[in-house]
Structure 1
Amino acid sequence: MAELNEESPERLARPLIRLAQSLGVATSYVGMSRDFHEIPDDVLVAVLKALNVDASSEETIEVSLEHVNNQRAMRLIEPTVLHIVGEQSHVPIHLAITEAPKVTITLEDGTIYQHDIAVEPLPDVKVHEVNGKFFSTAQIALPADLPEGYHTLHIAAGQREADATLISAPQRIPLLDPLKNGSLWGWMAQLYSIRSADSWGVGDFADLRTLLIDSKRYTNADFMLINPVHAGEPVSPLTPSPYLPVSRRFINYTYIHPEDIPEYYALDDAAKQSVKDAHAKMEAYNADPNLIDRDAMWLEKEKALRTIFNTGLQSVRQQAFDDYKARCGEDLEAYATWCVCYAKWGKPENTPDNWINKYTKDSPEVKQLREQNSDLLEFYRWLEWIAVEQMHAAQQAARQAGMKIGIMSDMAVGVHPDGSEVWWNPERFANGATVGAPPDMFNQQGQNWSQPPLSPLSLKETGYKAYREMVRGMFDCAGAVRIDHILGLFRLWWIPEGQPASNGTYVYYDHNTMLGILAIEADRVGGLIVGEDLGVVPSYVQQSLADYAIFGCAVEWFEQMDGVFIPPKDWRPYALASVDNHDMPPAAGYLEYEHVRVREQLGLLGEDSSAFERSARAEHQAMLQMLVDNGYLDVNVMKDESGRWEEIVEALYRALNSSPCKLKAVSFVDAVGERRTQNQPGTDNEYPNWRVPLADYHGDNVPLEHLFDSDLLQRIAKIMNS
């Protein structure tokens, strides 16, 4: 730790430090407690290696630094350029002193922009000599009237030509009319946990459609935030965590409801009966209040889906399927091929002889496997198409029911290191690093999330195509997208392979371009973006989000300062407000210290268990005091809480609804009195993370058919509609 909160001039002059900073790798940072850290050389060398930059010796550092500087001096234009609609932009280009450039723009629709693009000299331009040639910098003046979209900027200069992806983004995401002078409220649901009599033991897309329609009909809600539904494995065991997907580009097809597939009705009697028999085996699971069993579900559901797939498609449906495959292109081939490899060769594991390390997408063995299993390959393509159809239908049903937003989909931070995205396109990811968080007061060793980070260099070189396609895919089936850990669009904590989480550093991303992509995709569907910005967030991040009209998050139990809760009426308007989240118990459980009990039971508190309990009780009392002081709760309830948890929960939501936040969310778990948390941070199989079905205060299963009969739910809905 340095004595001053800045690096010395001597350190900044070192070639390694200059190389790292030139590539967006932080060489120091200020921690959560305002403590200053300088990054050790070995960490910088390892992170640069993950970016395919050699810094292993003084000689290679000098060579790499010279290469980076020369490339920038010689390159006609950066591969990705951001433009803001309605503003004139200036983009630097690098020309040899004898070159006279010509600039054209091909718009996203294939037409040529019909006005001249000016190239302007820069004053006081320095001339750089590279390999005996002299280069200087000029700038392109991009006109204000360029339309929104993804265009191609073409430059011809002498014998050189270059194309750049031109991302033309709106200044801000347009605010929905109801939000301009008011707010909207909706529900938060862990989709898998809410089952109906027609479910297959796990909540599915048919249940989601019903949830959306009934939420509007019985409570007048306008959106529903659901857990991530990114793609997963093709065979058991299925990963419980929705935040560790195989691919963020596609949807988890285990949420398909077989009986909602049109081809189900074309089955002959025997085939249809086989589907019914498979469903019957899962009926008992729908009423189990203790545990979600995804593997049992998929064992039966996959067989039913194969039966339906085998019946084939009529011409109109076949054309729709073919169109879908054409739109998805190689991305779909990547996921479907990975699924076939998994199904035939087994689970990917980090061993030298495992297929995930032994073969690439171009290996002859993979090509042969695809040819030998063409029907299975088509089955996985078909599953993805059906999943998209059913989730899209749920969103359409929500809008037809009158919801202003409908589905709010959750985007995970990253993907599984052995998933399809990393295997098929390893060049898009850092090789030899994972994402996490530095040490702080809550996690003194830091956190390692075991997910490979996207390479900022690859994103820029490819025009952010993978990111664009992922966001677009999510908005195909949603009216809003919530981005988990949106700070990751600005910087991510990279941890070199084999190092503890504390031995990492931040790597910076071009957040303006990524926010511009979010703005384009949201604007195209009349949607909105919510960024999970809880914890310590630099002021420039909050300002950037506000500039684009991206909503942050406010959690009632987290909105406190020095042990005193901030009244919701003083919160910021541009936020999605909630009482709690999935990493803590629901309101009833939190009020009864479920988080203390579970952590003690699992041995997560060590010798500090008594201190943690005292802290939890002090926090509890401080919350009640805020509720009483602001008129949300009767003081007599605070004096004697026994049996009065429902009154406190209602008070929490009265407080929430008094906030100026334009988006407000109610958890179904709060509304039925559930006490168990969905996810206990710091655990894996020690706790049934992401496998807790929806139950009431007494531990009884709450089926979808009776969900909106809850008196507490209706009282909370009345509060939110007041």
Structure 2
Amino acid sequence: MVDSVPLLENPERLARPLIRLAKACGVSTSYIDQVGDYVENTDEALVGVLKALGVDASSPESIDRSLAHVEQAASERPLPPTIVAHVGEPRSITVNLAAESTIVTLTLDSPNGDDAVRELKATVDPSTGETRITLPDDLPAGYHTLAIDANGKSASATVICAPARIPLPATVAEHRRWGWMTQLYSVRSHDSWGVGDYGDLRRLAADAAKNGADFMLINPIHACAPITPLEPSPYLPESRRFLNATYIRPQDIPEYDDLDEAERAQVDGLHAGIAARNDDPNPMDINAAWDAKRQALRAIFDHPRSPEREAAFTQFKRQSGPDLDSFATWCVAFEVWGAPWGDNPWFSTIAPDSPEVAELAREHADLLEFNRWLQWIACEQVDDAQRAAKDAGMALGLMHDMAVGVHDLGADVWANPERFVTGVTVGCPPDFYNQQGQDWGQPPFNPNYLEETGYLTYREMVRSIFAHAGAVRIDHVLGLFRLWWIPAGHTAKDGAYVTYDHDAMLSVLAIEATRANGMVIGEDLGTVPDYVRQVLAERGVLGTEVEWFARVDNSGTAGDPYLPPSDYRRQALASVTTHDLPPTAGYLDFEHVRLRERLQLLTEPVEVFQRSATAERDAMMARLMDEGLISPDVAADVSAHEQQIVEAMHAMLTKTPSLLLQAALVDGVDEHRSQNQPGTSYQYPNWRIPLTDEQGRVVHTDEVFSLPRMRSLCAVMRGER
């Protein structure tokens, strides 16, 4: 008889000083992997992660000193720097001060700027002797400030008071809604500049609404580098606080109509030089597109604005605060001093508050203003797209995708390094999608900084995303609970999970979503503990169900039976596929097998992988037959019934209880090519594949919803077939 695998650390391990220190610092020392196996983190990984947190664990003596310091600091802290409360629920806080000498004030966060101050009392808990402060039962949602003072010893805390659950928008509570997923850059019109843009998004969203859709999920549109070469992945932005200016459409800027003849000729000439690329089915040249468009934008920026427009720009700058100046300064430094990597060390040697940066800003004041202006225009155009979507009848409109993190040499990290942890990168441990684990090369938020500052950075980021959206999808939502930190010099296998205060971060999401009457969807695929999904559901965050991954008992074995649609979660966004898989037609045709073999990504013979892919497809056909959506004859000849099977898989979505259903534009036009192949960078043209049909012909923005195949899929999603 084989002994069962332990699911908890034994007492001997828990007693080790290193393990105690790691846990005291919020570092997990073991975890359960995707297939349910218990895994203990190595000492080397724990020491590396603790070092990144500024905790010395390099020797037994240093571990003892660090542990004593951590325990002492916790015992002497008057009150925690961030306190989470839920609207209408009682909340009391223990403070390390004498009750009789403690003065307590609570300053309320008021939307109109008129902060109200309340005086509270500290009392002694008779059962424990602890000094406690009880918050008012009628505390409104918001970010309040609690201050205490006792004999000259003072402290303050941010009180994040949030709805206990994100309420469903009335339009979704009425009945479930469906929408589309698309890669914005991939869908182009004749007015585009070789890459899909915010003008295309406005047209797509309006056309989708006219065909019954209620939302459109797009790839992250976080800010990227200001000049070429650009990073193609939208999931590796330079800043999550600001928008991607490369998607601006120059012709839609109001000042474009005011250009004189020579200025108009310059802009139109630049467009004419790049417009032919809108008809090219080959991978897009995003650098050529931005080089041309940026010149056009500069010409429009240089044209005088009306007093009304100048006032609007000034107001935008004031509302954006110092972060806009920091971002624009990084952009100027990037352009003037060059990309901050390779042999160009300015990122790590010149601080934002240095005399060199001040001189740079003075010498290039116009360039600084240009980068501020780009953000203003981007905000206007995304707002226009959201407005067009809602005006055309969408219940939610745009659904923005929030990337996990940012580039380690990007604007956010340079301007505010204290917000991040260096010496580690974020990724995920091995699972059945990637046996080596993954390293995304991004620095994590510093959980200690977030707590000390009342999660202000996270609040501002979430608020800026909801400013232009009806819903937000959070990539790798597990990151609200824990992130897999990989110490420098280690592989993705040898990391450790660092915990985050998910209650605080979910409360921020609840406040901002409620204020925007929006929704939050968490991408909870892969190694996600059951308790995470339970907590998300309790807080009103939808999970993610994907047909190709939805096996009985969450099995990772290809060929195991798929879930019946009735077993999908109600509190979820359900879809057939994701952007990390080929379109459904391509997946059915084993495009992923051929692609991985060609790129030499397989860790097993291609014949073995092909057998598993075939078993997976057979299992899906069996599920579709069980649901009465296809016949045995169709299942026996997949290639001859491709469209019928694609539509059957989408029809199966309509049999689920899930609140939101999602189709992909690529499935409506019969695209076969992958948008992204995980595990590659420049071996495959990730994030640069334009939208084409089954003949490889480019499908332009104004054609998408006129195609017979697309109209047929719309009917399926509307429940008419």
Same fold (TM over 0.5): yes
Single out whichever of 515-524 and 642-651 deviates more from structure 2.
642-651
Report Cα offsets for 1:286-315 as digits up to 9, x if no partner: 001111111111111000000000013221
Name the structure 2 match of 1:190: 183
Q: Which residue of 2 aligns with 1:694?
A: 691
1: CA distance, partners of 2:307 / 2:16? 66
Structure-1 residue corresponding to 2:581:
584
Identify the match of residue 156 of structure 2 among 145, 156, 163. Answer: 163
Shift of 1:39: 2.1
Separation in structure 2 between the aligned mates of residue 313 and residue 57 of structure 1, nearest angstrom: 63
Residue 396 of structure 2 corresponds to 405
Distance, in Å, in 1 between the alignment partners of 2:635 and 2:431 is 33
Q: TM-score, normalised by structure 1?
A: 0.96
**1:215 aligned residue (198, 208, 214):** 208
Deviation at 1:438, TM superposition (A): 1.1
How do 1:475-514 and structure 2 match up within 5 A? 475-514=466-505
- Do the aligned partners of residues 173 and 11 (structure 1) sit closer, same or farther apart at CA in structure 2, a change above 3 Å counting? same
Specify the alignment match of 1:13 in structure 2.
15
2:6 corresponds to: 4
Q: Which runs of 5+ in 2 are unaligned?
A: none
- Whether 1:334 and 2:326 are equivalent positions in the alignment is yes
Following the alignment from structure 2 to structure 1, what is the Cα–Cα distance between the partners of residues 61 and 590?
58
Secondary structure of the equivalent of 2:232? coil
2:391 is matched by which residue type in structure 1?
Q
> Which letter maps to 2:196?
G
Deviation at 1:600, TM superposition (A): 1.0
Contact 2:551 2:563 in 1 (8 A): yes
Equivalent runs, 1:500-579 vs 2, <5 Å:
500-561=491-552, 562=555, 563-579=560-576
* Larger CA deviation: 635-644 vs 385-394: 635-644
Query: Residue 92 of structure 2 aligns to a residue in which SS?
Result: strand
Structure 1 counterpart of 2:347, from 356, 369, 383: 356
The change in CA–CA distance for 1:417 and 1:697 in structure 2 (over 3 A counts) is same
Equivalent position of 1:57 in the other structure: 59
Which position in structure 2 is the counterpart of 1:639? 636
One-letter identity of the residue aligned with 1:122: D
Q: Distance in 2 between matches of 1:44 and 1:536?
A: 20
Number of the residue aligned with 1:610: 607
Bigger shift: residues 142-151 or 67-76:
67-76
For 1:226, the equivalent position in structure 2 comes to 218
Which residue in the other structure is 1:346 paired with?
338
Q: Which has the higher mean CA deviation after the structures are superposed, 226-235 or 697-706?
A: 697-706
Equivalent-residue separation in structure 2 for 1:2 and 1:159 (angstroms): 57
Aligned ranges 1:81-92 → 2 under 5 Å: 81-92=83-94
Q: Kindly indicate whether the alpha-carbon contact (under 8 Å) linking 1:87 and 1:143 is maintained by their aligned counterparts in 2.
A: no
| Structure 1: stretches of 5+ with no match in the other structure | 127-136
| Contact preservation (8 Å) 2:185, 2:195 | yes
Of residues 238, 252, 267, the one that matches 1:275 is 267
State whether residues 2 and 36 of structure 1, in contact with CA within 8 Å, keep that contact through their aligned partners in structure 2: no
SS, match of residue 605 in structure 2: helix
Structure 1 residue 114: Cα displacement: 6.0
Aligned to 1:133: none
Contact 2:424 2:486 in 1 (8 A): yes
Give the superposition deviation at 1:663: 0.3
Matched, 1:470 2:461: yes
Q: How far 1:111 moved relative to its partner?
A: 4.3
Match of 1:138 in 2: 131
288, 310, 320: which one aligns with 2:312: 320
Separation in structure 2 between the aligned mates of residue 527 and residue 53 of structure 1, nearest angstrom: 40
Amino acid at match of 1:471: V
Q: Distance in 1 between matches of 2:77 and 2:639?
A: 71
Q: Does 1:601 align with 2:604?
A: no
CA distance in 2 between counterparts of 1:121 and 1:111 reads: 32
- The answer on 1:719 being equivalent to 2:716 is yes
Match of 1:306 in 2: 298
How far apart in 2 are the matches of 1:10 and 1:99?
44
Q: Secondary structure at the match of 1:174?
A: coil
Aligned amino acid, residue 120 of structure 1: T
Q: Which residue of 2 aligns with 1:386?
A: 377
Task: Out of 536-545 and 66-75, give the one that drifted further.
Answer: 66-75
Q: Which amino acid aligns with 2:51?
A: K
The answer as to whether partners of 1:2 and 1:37 remain within 8 angstroms in 2 is no
Q: Distance in 1 between matches of 2:642 and 2:217?
A: 25
Match status 1:204 vs 2:197: yes
Q: Aligned residue for 1:77?
A: 79
Deviations 1:584-607 (A, max 9, x none): 111110111100111111111144
| Letter of the structure 2 residue corresponding to residue 633 of structure 1 | I
Q: Deviations over 1:375-400 (max 9, x none)?
A: 00000000011001110111011111
- 1:439 aligns with 430
- RMSD of equivalent CA atoms: 1.7
In the alignment, what sits opposite 1:134?
A: none
Q: Distance in 2 between matches of 1:631 and 1:30?
A: 37
12-21 vs 322-331, which moves further: 12-21
Instruction: Specify the alignment match of 1:101 in structure 2.
Output: 103
Cα-to-partner distance string for 1:632-689 (whole Å, 9 max, x where unaligned):
1122211233422111111111111111111001100000100001000111111110
Alignment partner, residue 132 of structure 1? none
SS of structure 2 residue aligned to 1:482: strand
> How many angstroms does 1:335 deviate by?
1.0
Residue equivalent to 1:131: none
Q: What secondary structure does 2:393 align onto?
A: coil
Shift of 1:62: 2.5
Match of 2:289 in 1: 297
Cα pair 2:194 2:285 within 8 Å, conserved: yes
| Structure 1 residue 322 displacement after superposition | 1.2
Give the direction of change, closer, same or farther, for the CA distance of 1:715–1:457 in structure 2 (3 Å limit).
Answer: same
Q: Secondary structure at the match of 1:643?
A: helix
Matched, 1:414 2:405: yes
Partner of 1:703: 700
Determine the C-alpha separation between the residues in 2 that align with 1:138 and 1:611: 65
Offset, 1:49:
1.3
1:440 is aligned with what amino acid? D
Deviates more, 1:301-310 or 1:342-351: 342-351
Residue 549 of structure 2 aligns to a residue whose secondary structure is coil
Conserved 8 A contact 2:34-2:528? no
Is contact 1:290-1:692 (8 Å) kept? yes
Give the secondary-structure state (helix, strand or coil) at the position aligned to 1:202. coil
DSSP 3-state at the match of 2:520: strand
Q: Does residue 621 of the first structure (1) align with residue 623 of the second (2)?
A: no
CA–CA distance in 2 between the matches of 1:234 and 1:107?
36
Q: Is the 8 A contact 2:100 2:122 kept in 1?
A: no
How far the C-alpha of 1:560 sits from its partner, in A, is: 1.2
Task: State the secondary structure of the residue aligned to 1:418.
Answer: coil
- The match for 1:119 among 105, 122, 128 is 122
Q: Classify 1:30/1:642 alpha carbon distance in 2 versus 1 (closer, same or farther; 3 Å).
A: closer
Q: Distance in 2 between matches of 1:618 and 1:106?
A: 59
Q: Would the aligned equivalents of 1:2 and 1:38 in 2 still touch at CA under 8 Å?
A: no
- Quote the residue 2:659 is aligned against: 662
Mapped contact 1:74–1:95 kept (Cα < 8 A): no
Q: 1:639 to 1:112 in 2, by over 3 A?
A: closer
Q: Do the aligned partners of 1:588 and 1:670 also contact (CA within 8 Å) in 2?
A: yes
- 3-state SS of paired residue (2:661): strand
